Amino acid sequence: MVTTVVLPVKGMTCGACSAKVGRGLSELDGVDSATVNLVTERATVVFDPTTLDVEALRRAVSDLGYRAPVSVEPEVDAEPVGGDAPASEASTRTLLIAFSLTVPVALLSMISALQFAGWEWVVGVLATPVVWGSGMDFHRVTFRNLRHRTTTMDTLVTLGTTAAWAWSVWALVGDSGHVYFETAAVIVTLILLGRWLEGRARHRSGDAIRALAGLSVQDATLEDGSTVPVGEVQVGMRLLVRPGDQVPVDGRVVDGMSTVDESMLTGEPVPVDVDVGDVVIGATVNGHGSLVIEATRVGTETTLARIMRLVEEAQNSTAPVQHLADRISAVFVPIVLVAAAVTLASWLVLGGPASDGMSAAVAVLVIACPCALGLATPTAIMVGTGRGAQLGVLIRNGEALESTRRISHVVLDKTGTITEGRMALAAVTATSGVDSSRALEIAASLESRSEHPIAAAIAGAVDSHIPARQFTVLPGQGVRGTVSGVDVLVGRPDLFDNLPEDLAVARDKALDTGGTVVVVGWDGAPKAVLVVEDRIRDTSAEAVEGLHSLGLSVTLLTGDDERTARTVANAVGIDQVVAGVLPDEKDAEIARLREAGHAVAMVGDGINDAPALARADLGIAMGTGTGVAMAASEMTIVGGDLRAVVDAIGLARRTLGTIKGNLFWAFVYNVSAVPLAAIGLLDPMIAAGAMAFSSIFVVGNSLRLRHFQGRLAAGALN
């Protein structure tokens, strides 16, 4: 038995830090896995609670030189992830002080016309508070890490600036050479500026989840007009939602008619008509009518809370492509320290000026910071998943992003996916000598015991039901039971050996028009044909065209009759159809496609789709379906618009491409810059600027995902 906790981890400054914490936690007895996210400053740990507890995990983090101030993350954070405030007052003040002192230091050092007798002493006096005051946070972290016998990016900064400052003091006191006070001061200031800008960018990466949190309703109005805090609302309470008000919690309409704007959660721009019996989602906006709803989900169980939880889980995850970067970051700093020492020694051995050797060594220390490697994946995941949430697409983890790269085949369920999933009884045809109303009454009485959408449509067609006994579900086939002492069978036409000619004609006519045929029989013989229709979504054809445009093959997989399935497939542009399958056969069909070499994405919404969703390389659940389907999937479409599946795959691919671009830049930057610094082609001040720019570039590149326009967003603009 294992459990999962999310621990805040404070004090991390680079990829080497996050890699060290992850490695340290993973090495604990009882820990199954540990993933550390530099951007969100959180560690997700899967462990055996019988072996160790959360406090032991916190102590392990502390032993590594960092802080885990809270025992365990709550279900839904009051403060969403995405970084702290854009810039705290303290960090801004520190940067301004450093900048005001560094500017005259740089001017005096680089412009000979401004220099005067004793200017080096003035520069030294101005630079010292920058190095040991403004830069104290770097030194403090370095000394803390030294106590734990570890190194990080701050170690490189401290060694570089201290070396430059100490060399300058020695040269100044001994009047024996060039001073590098400006190098030390500029390095500190540029890194502070880089972190300040990076912090602002990282804060923007969490805009989406903060926007979701801002949708929360504070108060709810009871049916009698009194107001209570939304936290006090209980399941079953009746709430009044006036025109223009937000729906406080998930519920079911018990009185009134209106339209509800769900775009902030589902991404679908068109308001939804609601009537008595319809479900409404908390945080959506009521339109013109007044509604009375009965609360069905409250607190952390509301759709909004679940969305926030899934988004935060995704943002705390990492993609498999990041693992290589983590391994490199873990050993990078010690390698850089050796490289800097070798650089200085080489300059001295080859007879070069000691001051030039020191400058090159300092440049190596500064330029090699692996910050960009640590930020490459988490920033892209944070922005990408946040943008997905705005479009009504929930991406569960980084592995789901990797899966989209390989997908070549998409399998679509029919009911509730391509169609609206709102079955309605269209016709009843009874055989000769049988009353059609009586046949419908018997079928409805038995189907009232089932939760299937087709059963609900039949059961809802009559006002009252005869008690049914000995009810039995025939998986994928129908139901059986006793009504008024008669053994009744309701289900697919092939449950019966032969249909009378009049029923066969009714069946064929229904199948030709895309209707679903249900046969009711008793005394061992078919008595009537019931036709249930499920309207094709207006956007399904566009969605299928979008999947084709991504280079994907599309298959319709359904338990319906072949002719019905073909009618629906032709209407939306699907060429490949697999019909008449049972729930376990859906799973087998996915397995067959995978064995044939296809990477398969399965899209479904029902309990019967769950095995296939789990079997597929990528499971995508329609959020209008069951919780079982969503639990078995890697992605969830909050609304019912199939176009969001195109958005989900497109956004996931774009996010993965951004991650790879970030990692490529970070690797190229570090691999190419270190040799240039070692041979003296990079001034330490330029190195500091380049190091800061690399991190800002990675974060900025990730922020471009905020502008991803899917088909739903395009529809809203048109």
| Catalytic site positions | 413
The arrangement of strands across the sheet holding 279-280 comes to 238-241, 291-297, 250-255, 279-280
- From the list 269, 264, 245, the residue with the least C-alpha distance to 256 is 245
* Pairwise CA distance, residues 113 & 604, whole Å: 74
End-to-end, the C-alpha distance of the chain in Å comes to 52
The C-alpha angle with vertex 362 and arms to 145 and 663, in degrees rounded to 5, equals: 70
Helices and strands in the chain: count of H runs, count of E runs: 25, 25
- From the list 592, 590, 553, 593, the residue with the least C-alpha distance to 573 is 553
Beta strands in 367-515 (DSSP E): 393-395, 409-412, 424-430, 468-474, 478-483, 486-491
Q: Alpha carbon 602 to chain centroid distance?
A: 18
* Pairwise CA distance, residues 668 & 363, whole Å: 17
* Pairwise CA distance, residues 194 & 496, whole Å: 74
Rounded CA Rg of the chain:
32
Per-residue tokens: 13:
């400054």
Contacts for 18 with CB less than 8 Å, ≥ 6 apart: 12, 36, 37, 38, 326, 329, 374
C-alpha dist (Å) from residue 229 to 249, 309, 497: 11, 22, 60
What is the 8-class DSSP label of residue 328?
H
Per-residue tokens: 188:
């500190």
- From the list 396, 402, 39, the residue with the least C-alpha distance to 205 is 39
Q: What percentage of the chain's residues is helix, strand, coil (to nearest 5)?
A: 55, 20, 30
> What is the helix (H) or strand (E) element at residue 358, kind and residue range?
helix 354-367
Per-residue tokens: 525:
């013989």
Contacts for 539 with CB less than 8 Å, ≥ 6 apart: 641, 642, 643, 715
Burial group, residue 23, by CB count within 10 angstroms (0-12, 13-18, 19+): middle
Quick check: 396 and 635 in contact, CB under 8 A? yes
> Is the CA virtual torsion 131, 132, 133, 135 positive or negative?
positive
* Pairwise CA distance, residues 716 & 361, whole Å: 56
